[in-house]
Structure 1
Amino acid sequence: MTTTPPTVDVHAHVLLLEVDALVEGLPGHAEAKALDARRNGPDALRVNGPMVGERIPRLTDPFARLAAMDGQGVDVQLVSPSPSHYHYWADEETAEQVHRLAAEATAAHCSTAPDRLRGLGLVPLQHPALTVRVLDHALSLGLRGVEISSHAPGRELSDPAYEPFWSRVEETGALVFLHPFGCTLDERLDRWYLANSVGQPTENAVALSHLIFSGVLDRFPGLRIIAAHGGGYLPTHIGRADHAWSVRPDARSGCAHLPSSYLQRIYFDSLVHDPYVLRELVRVAGADRVLLGSDFPFDMGAGDPVAALRAAGLSDADFAAVRGGTAAALLRKD
């Protein structure tokens, strides 16, 4: 007798009011908020407040979350803190407090329904020396791994200072959910919500390119990285990266293999908002590397992620893998 794997959404967020209270008024917080405001622009800020406010119950109340999951036909969510909780501006002491509290609050939220809610913590990328300790704390609480942004101030994910972190991630089998927050194109994207619609896929592509071209994925082949938003622009434009690697020695100096081959070493969520792009993502990465994702419960997410997946017209086997078969195996404790 065969059993149908659960439907698993790997891209769902929780808003941690405890973290917001901890950082309010601290030195550096106001400056970080001002930078975020400049990057997004006034029109986006006017929309964001009411949009988030209307979603507070689903972002904070696990029972409201479970009811919404039932309505979507989702059995399990991998819950990660809202990226607004990264707080990469914080000093070492504050950063450790913030990230430990984020892990504890996320674990408490998920403990309401441990068979349906699995959680991720955060690590302070701005302080590489803290990352291993904070990762271990998150794992000790039963969380499945951590969520990170595409970069920290002054550091890319290829920075050698992160080598101990990547080593520990590989050793523990922790999941790393790569979810950008903010875009270094800054005010160039401050209108028409370009900071999100263009900025997010750009940041995904840049961050993944650093991991590929620097050789991080060669040195740590066991990493289990999930890239939000389908990996951004990279999977559908990987041919240009392959060409650069093939003809230019400077592009080939860091990684051992053709860039497109590394797409089979990364996991991607399905949130690309286009069935044809989703089919291409499955083609280049493999159905066993694409996972259902909704960005629950934000407006840039998929209100019916299973229907969005079905629209791609995948084979039955590929549909089953993306809908939850692969993610269920990833989330299973060894």
Structure 2
Amino acid sequence: MTTPPTVDVHAHVLLPEIEALVDGLPGLADAKALDARRNGPAALKVNGPMIGERIPRLTDSSARLAAMDTQGVDVQLVSPSPSHYHYWADEQTAEKVYRLANEATAAHCAATPERLRGLGLVPLQHPEQLRRALDHALAQGLAGVEISSHAPGRELSDPAYEPFWAGAEETGAIVFLHPFGCTLDERLDQWYLSNSVGQPTENAVALSHLIFSGVLDRHPGLKIIAAHGGGYLPTHIGRADHAWRARSDSGSGCAHLPSSYLRRLYFDSLVHDPYVLRELVRVAGADRVLLGSDFPFDMGTEDPVAALRAARLSDVDFHAVRGGNATALLRKD
């Protein structure tokens, strides 16, 4: 039996043209200041050089492919850097951002479509634009779109997003849930807690909104991939199950036990701990976990296959996570 290709579903592209587009616009300075407060000065000093040395792999498809060869990765699902969300932007700017992001990501992947698949962006801050943005991404040949864990003033459970969820389900688009920033703000502005604690927190909160609000009941065909292994939620889902059973206010929005919805979602394998990865596979199912590296950032892994092998899964589960599940998902797309 032939083994599937190795597929990394969590890899990013940097699009300088987007930053050139928004440079100097009202709102950008405030957004940067908020980001700086949330991360803290020590993190900002590290971030610049870290990104700078990774520019070739983030922007040049040839450098990307060479790095993939070194890692033993056959296919990447490439999404824009979350720094390109720009959820502060007005309607006109937001449309320019998503169009440019979708077209530039598609162009980055176009040279080697057998190895690079792409995801676009949608402006969560303008719900009325979401379906148009999704359709635009799909028209570029992209497999779906990437979103953050929330937009200013809106959670993913907001009723205004219902047309977007319906559209994603109808079209079979992949929705990659990748947080950017954490609303715990300055409480996490030291020791890079904004990322190490903030990102898994945001994943858990966003997924909980999708579960408890009934979004996954209303749209069971959604193809949502949660970055960072879904954060804290999969390994602490027992508390959510208890609340659903014990309290009428907790269980009023979703029809089933919260843990059952984990098997309706997909999760990348980027949890940085083989025991946590084994638990993720146990609670979500081996068919719902996909290889992810966060290529090429420092909070990712340089060797995602070795990280997966360290979990000591069965051969069948190992190959499913390594590439079989993602191959099937992308083939459906």
In the superposition, the TM-score normalised over structure 2's length comes to 1.00
Aligned-residue offset at 1:112: 1.3
| Cα distance in 2 between the residues matched to 1:38 and 1:93 | 27
Instruction: Name the counterpart of 1:8.
Output: 7
Which amino acid is 1:307 matched to?
A
Aligned pairs, how many?
A: 333
Which amino acid is 1:72 matched to?
Q
Secondary structure (helix, strand or coil) at the match of 2:297 reads coil
CA deviations over 1:79-137 (Å, ceiling 9, x no partner): 00000000000000000100110000000000011000000000000000000001000
| Cα distance in 2 between the residues matched to 1:246 and 1:130 | 37
Secondary structure (helix, strand or coil) at the match of 2:134 reads helix
Aligned-residue offset at 1:4: 1.6
Instruction: Name the counterpart of 1:212.
Output: 211
Instruction: Name the counterpart of 2:93.
Output: 94
Instruction: Name the counterpart of 2:102.
Output: 103
Aligned-residue offset at 1:192: 0.1
| Cα distance in 2 between the residues matched to 1:313 and 1:277 | 12
| Cα distance in 2 between the residues matched to 1:212 and 1:100 | 30
CA deviations over 1:57-82 (Å, ceiling 9, x no partner): 00000000000000000000000000
Secondary structure (helix, strand or coil) at the match of 2:250 reads helix
Instruction: Name the counterpart of 2:244.
Output: 245
Pairwise CA RMSD: 0.5
Instruction: Name the counterpart of 2:18.
Output: 19
Which amino acid is 2:217 matched to?
D
| Cα distance in 2 between the residues matched to 1:324 and 1:135 | 25
Determine whether 1:185 maps to 2:184. yes
CA deviations over 1:183-209 (Å, ceiling 9, x no partner): 000000000000000000000000000
Aligned-residue offset at 1:218: 0.1
Which amino acid is 2:219 matched to?
F
CA deviations over 1:30-81 (Å, ceiling 9, x no partner): 1101100000000000000000000000000000000000000000000000
Which amino acid is 1:260 matched to?
S
Which amino acid is 1:206 matched to?
V
Instruction: Name the counterpart of 1:134.
Output: 133
* Structure 1 segments unaligned to the other structure (5+ residues): none
| Cα distance in 2 between the residues matched to 1:129 and 1:182 | 24
Secondary structure (helix, strand or coil) at the match of 1:332 reads helix
CA deviations over 1:234-274 (Å, ceiling 9, x no partner): 00000000000000000000000000000000000000000
Instruction: Name the counterpart of 1:315.
Output: 314
| Cα distance in 2 between the residues matched to 1:4 and 1:26 | 49
| Cα distance in 2 between the residues matched to 1:209 and 1:112 | 38
Instruction: Name the counterpart of 2:56.
Output: 57
Instruction: Name the counterpart of 1:48.
Output: 47
| Cα distance in 2 between the residues matched to 1:205 and 1:239 | 13
Secondary structure (helix, strand or coil) at the match of 2:8 reads strand
Which amino acid is 2:32 matched to?
K
Secondary structure (helix, strand or coil) at the match of 1:252 reads coil
Aligned-residue offset at 1:3: 2.2
* Structure 2 segments unaligned to the other structure (5+ residues): none
| Cα distance in 1 between the residues matched to 2:189 and 2:112 | 39
Instruction: Name the counterpart of 2:270.
Output: 271
Secondary structure (helix, strand or coil) at the match of 2:181 reads coil
| Cα distance in 1 between the residues matched to 2:330 and 2:78 | 12
Secondary structure (helix, strand or coil) at the match of 2:10 reads strand
Q: Which runs of 4+ in 1 moved over 6 A?
A: none
1:118-267 map, 5 Å: 118-267=117-266
Secondary structure (helix, strand or coil) at the match of 1:250 reads coil
Aligned-residue offset at 1:333: 4.9
Determine whether 1:292 maps to 2:284. no
Aligned-residue offset at 1:161: 0.0
Which amino acid is 1:183 matched to?
C
Determine whether 1:301 maps to 2:300. yes
| Cα distance in 2 between the residues matched to 1:17 and 1:59 | 10
CA deviations over 1:134-154 (Å, ceiling 9, x no partner): 100000010000000000000
Secondary structure (helix, strand or coil) at the match of 1:84 reads helix
| Cα distance in 1 between the residues matched to 2:332 and 2:324 | 15
Secondary structure (helix, strand or coil) at the match of 1:309 reads helix
